[in-house]
Amino acid sequence: MDPFAEITRLRRGLDDGEFSSRELAEFYLSRSRQLNPQINGYINLSEDRALAQAAAADARIAAGEAGPVTGIPLAHKDIFCTRGIPTTCASRMLASFVPPYDATVVERLEGAGAVTLGKANLDEFAMGSSNENSYFGAVSNPWDTSRVPGGSSGGSAATVAAGMAPIATGTDTGGSIRQPAAFCGVCGLKPTYGRVSRYGMVAFASSLDQGGVLGRSAADIAMLLAQFAGPDPKDATSHPESDPWLNALREMPDPEQALTPSDGLRVGLPKEYFAHLAEAGHLDEASKLFESWGCTLTEVSLPHTDAAIPAYYVIAGAEASTNLSRYDGVRYGHRCSDPVSLEDLYQRSRTEGFGAEVKRRILTGTYALSVGYFDAYYLQAQKIRRLIQNDFLTAFESVDMILAPTAPGVAFAKDDLTADPVAMYQQDLFTIPASLAGLPAMSVPCGVQDNLPLGMQLIAPHFAERTLLAWSHRFQQATDWHTRHPTLSEAAT
C-alpha cells in the first residue's frame, strides 16, 4: 500500500476491491503508531471509531451505495468536536474534554462514509505559526524533524506529509492552513469566510475562523470540500446560498471533470508581497507556466499590506479574549483544585489551563478593548480591515486570481522564533490579508529549497474556490512538486 496515494486513487482501489476500507484504516493506523513518536502529528488516534466506521463503509461499498469519500480515512484537526472522542484544542484547558456532539464538518464527512483516524495536533487554540504551542508537545516537520511544520494546523500538515493520513481537515484564521501546507509540501485550501460551518469548531476569532482541507492534490481537496461545505442552520455566519458547482461535485466519484479551468485567466502579482520576498525563483517558474497556458500576468498593488499584521493581531486578539472568556472552570474544561472563592476559581483555572501564547493573545485583546483604547485599536483595526478588503476588490476588477508567496521562506528551525512573539507574527505577512478580507486562498507546492518544500499562494474573489482548485489542478497536471514526499524511517522509532 502506498502511504502517499491521493484519495482519488484510494477511491478506485476501494471500488475495484483492491483493498477494503478496513485494510486501509488499519494500514494508516499502524503507520501512524510507528511514526507518531517522531512526528507527534496526532494527539489521539481513534482506532475503535475508525475500525467501526471502516466496517460500515465496506458494507456500503458492497451494497453499491458508496459516495465519493465512503471508506476514505482522514485526520481531523483537534479543534473540531467529535462526540465521544476527546477534543483538546492542544490545551490543558480542554485536555479531558469529551464533546457531547459532533462538529458539522465531522458530522457531514462521517455521514458521507469517511473514516476518522484520529485528532491532529495544533497550536493551542489555533494560536501560532509553528505548532510549538501545543500542550501535547511540538510537531516535527517530516522533511526535517529539527524544523517546525508551521501552524496552527501543523499536525494536519505533518500527518498528510508523512503519509500518516491521506488527507486532513484544518482551520485557518490568519494562515493556519496555508502556511503549514507550504512548510510540509502539501496543498491547503482556506475557503471563503462563510463557506464552511463553524458549528463545533472551537472558536478563536469568529470573524476570521474558517474550516478547510490539507491534502496531496487540488483534486483531493475538491473532493473532500464538496462533502462538508455549504449552508448550515447551526451556524448563523455560514453563507446561506449553496453552490451548484460544489453540489455537483459532491456526487462525483472522480472530481477531474469538475476541474477544467476556464480560458483567458488574468493573474495578478502583488508588488507589495514580492517586495518582501528575498527569493522568488519558484514563483517565477510557476508564473511562466501560467503564461504558457495563455493566462495574462500583470502586476497589481495591495497598498495596505503592511498594516495587515497589526490590524490582525488587534482583531484576532479582541475576539479571542471574548471567546475564551467562556473557560471559567465551571461548566467544562480545567478546574483548579480547592478554589477558595469564585474569583480564585476563575483565575487559577484559567492561569493553569492556558499556555503562554494564549495568555499573550487574551491580554493583547483585553488591552485593545479596554476603556480609552477601543477607538484607537479595535475600531482603527476594523477600518484598516475595510481598506485591505478594498485593495483586493480593486485588484479583482482587473485580475481573476492573485499569485503570491505563501510564506517568507522554508520551514524554520524549532526554537528559532519562540523568544520573540513579534518575529513569529511576521511569518503570517502573506496569509493574513486574505483572511481579513474573507477571501478563499490556497497554498500549492511549487518548489524545493535545501530539500525543503516551498509553496505558492493563490487568492481568488469571494466564493471563487472553483478558480483556485481548477487552476491548481492544471498546475499539478504539469508539475510533480505535489507528489514528492519526505523519506521517513519507520524503524527509527
Asked whether 75 and 119 are in contact (CB, 8 A), the reply is: yes
Give me the catalytic one of 20, 32, 77, 156: 77
Asked if 331 interacts with another protein (CB under 8 A), we say yes
Of the candidate spans 25-33, 155-163, 369-377, 449-457, the one that interacts with another protein by CB under 8 A turns out to be 369-377
Report the site for another protein in 225-264 (rule: CB under 8 A). 233, 236-240
Report the site for another protein in 445-474 (rule: CB under 8 A). 462
Asked whether 61 and 24 are in contact (CB, 8 A), the reply is: no
Q: Is 140 a catalytic residue?
A: no
Asked if 92 interacts with another protein (CB under 8 A), we say no
Of the candidate spans 38-46, 48-56, 95-103, 397-405, the one that interacts with another protein by CB under 8 A turns out to be 95-103
Looking at 183, 313, 396, 471, which residue binds another protein (CB under 8 A)?
313
Integer Cα distance of 193 and 208 in angstroms: 7
User: Within a 10 A sphere around the Cβ of 477, how many other Cβ atoms?
Assistant: 13
Largest CA distance in the chain: 71
Q: Is 176 a catalytic residue?
A: yes
Asked if 354 interacts with another protein (CB under 8 A), we say yes
Give me the catalytic one of 140, 176, 238, 287: 176
Query: Whole-number minimum distance, CB 243 to another protein, in Å?
Result: 14
Chain center to CA of 264: 30
Of the candidate spans 59-67, 126-134, 219-227, 361-369, the one that interacts with another protein by CB under 8 A turns out to be 361-369
Asked if 346 interacts with another protein (CB under 8 A), we say yes
Asked if 362 interacts with another protein (CB under 8 A), we say yes
Of the candidate spans 19-27, 275-283, 320-328, 475-483, the one that interacts with another protein by CB under 8 A turns out to be 320-328
Asked if 100 interacts with another protein (CB under 8 A), we say yes
Alpha helices of 281-329 — where are they, by DSSP H?
A: 281-292, 308-323
Report the site for another protein in 273-312 (rule: CB under 8 A). 304, 306-307, 309-311
Could you tell me the CA-to-CA distances from 183 to 91, 278, 323, 375, 408 in Å, in that order? Answer: 23, 17, 29, 37, 11
x/- contact string, 416-435, with another protein (CB under 8 A)? ----xxx--x----------
Integer Cα distance of 61 and 189 in angstroms: 28
What own/partner pairs with CB < 8 Å and gap ≥ 24 does 270-274 have? 270/299, 270/300, 270/301, 270/302, 270/305, 270/395, 270/402, 270/404, 271/299, 271/300, 271/301, 272/301, 272/302, 272/303, 272/305, 272/306, 273/302, 273/305, 273/404, 273/405, 273/430, 274/404, 274/405
Query: Whole-number minimum distance, CB 344 to another protein, in Å?
Result: 7
Asked if 271 interacts with another protein (CB under 8 A), we say no
Integer Cα distance of 216 and 250 in angstroms: 19
Asked if 326 interacts with another protein (CB under 8 A), we say no
Asked if 183 interacts with another protein (CB under 8 A), we say no
Q: Which residues are catalytic?
A: 77, 152, 176
